[in-house]
Amino acid sequence: EVYDLRHEALASRVTTLETLREKDTERIVATRRWLFASVIVPLVGILLPVVVLLVQGGGS
C-alpha cells in the first residue's frame, strides 16, 4: 500500500515535469520566432541596402 502511494506520487510528479517541459519548449520556440521577426529581419532590411550601396560605390 505504501508502495502504491509512492508510485502514484512519483507518477504525478513525472507528469507535472513533462507538462512543464512542454510549456518551456513552446516558450523557447516563441522566443526564437520573436527574436527572428523583431531583430534579425529589421537588421537585414537596414544593412542590406547599405552593403549594396557600398559595393556599388566601391566598384565605380
Q: Which 3 state secondary structure label does DSSP give 1?
A: coil
What's the pLDDT score for residue 38? 94
**For the chain, what is the domain count?**
1
Predicted local confidence at residue 60, as pLDDT: 58
Per-residue cell: 41: 529581419
* pLDDT-derived band at 3, boundaries 50, 70, 90: confident
pLDDT in tens, 28-51: 999 999 999 999 999 999 999 999
Range of the domain at 56: 1-60
**What's the pLDDT at 59?**
64
pLDDT value at residue 43: 94
